[in-house]
Amino acid sequence: MAQDDPRTLVSTDWLAAHLKDPDLRILDASWYLPDAGRNPRSEYDAAHIPGARFFDIAEIADNRSDLPHMVPPVEKFMSRLRAMGVGDGHQVVVYDGMGIFSAARVWWLFRLMGQFNIAVLDGGLPKWLAEDRPTEDMPPIVRDRHMTVRRQNHMIKDVTQVASASKLRNHEIIDARAPSRFAGAEPEPREGLRAGHIPGARNVHYATLLNDDGTMKPPQQLRTIFEDAGVDLAQPAITTCGSGVTAAILSLALERMGKTDHALYDGSWAEWGMFPTVPVATGDA
């Protein structure tokens, strides 16, 4: 059983015990890859944890960008969260329909915006349902709450910064994609992208950090997985993946291990794989 920490990860037991807290806000941040054939909004409408609001990762994003679900402008983030009745002084718990998948992205996004009282629900909705806990199909009653945002620019990297880190080898770049995609042995699901990985990157497939029930492994086991992948934990880390979603699972794991000097490459492979001027490596790390 994971140690409950309202700034990283809380158990279903913790959430059940705090469900009626007046300052608790729950977000359903389910999001699926297109080939999953699932509609997160309609699943939310049918059944969600009592009081949960739906956080639309694809909409609360920078829609000026050609890249998927990039970090939204500060003003947009603030206005969307205010409309959801989520703001200063709230303890937020975010979950998704896969266990730990897209919820970690929203956890990271809140932290980027300077909001640290947020935890991912360990095991997510599948574990909640497996334990026969309550759900509802009613939208919550929302009251506006102001949110103060102080963007933490050190927590995010762009393609130029990542290219520099790859060249200078002064950061550990950790890629959350499956080994076959990392090695360039299978084509990318997005059209027009080269296959392979950022030169110098290490591969820690996000799924290896999770137990069969979708909960996260304990910190000591996480540390071993990163070290076995050749990650030098003394170096600052940059997490990356296909489009910036599962990279946040690595970020959450690093934070659970007590490693705080990590940033996320928002464009991830959707950007790097498209850029003709940046180098691509193939094969194992």
Tokens of 234: 């003394």
Q: Is 210 helix (H, G, I), strand (E, B) or coil?
A: strand
Considering 92, 210, 241, 253, which one is annotated as catalytic? Answer: 241
How far apart are alpha carbons 138 and 191 in whole angstroms? 39
DSSP-derived secondary structure letter, 197: B
* Main-chain dihedrals φ then ψ at residue 7, nearest 5 degrees: -105, -5
CA torsion angle 198 203 207 209 (round to 10): -130
Query: Regarding beta strands 172-175 and 156-157, do their DSSP bridges make them parallel or antiparallel, or are they unpaired?
Result: unpaired
DSSP string, 157-217: E-HHHHHHHHHHT-SEEEE-S-HHHHHT-S--SSTTPPSSB-TT-EE--GGGGB-TTSPBP
Which residue, chain included where needed, has tokens 């997005």?
Answer: 190
d(CA 247, CA 101): 10
Residue 241 catalytic?
yes
Count of C-beta atoms within a 10 Å radius of residue 133: 16
Give dist(CA 133, CA 285) in Å, integer: 43
Q: How many CA atoms lie within 13 A of 183 on its CB side?
A: 8
Which positions are catalytic?
Answer: 241
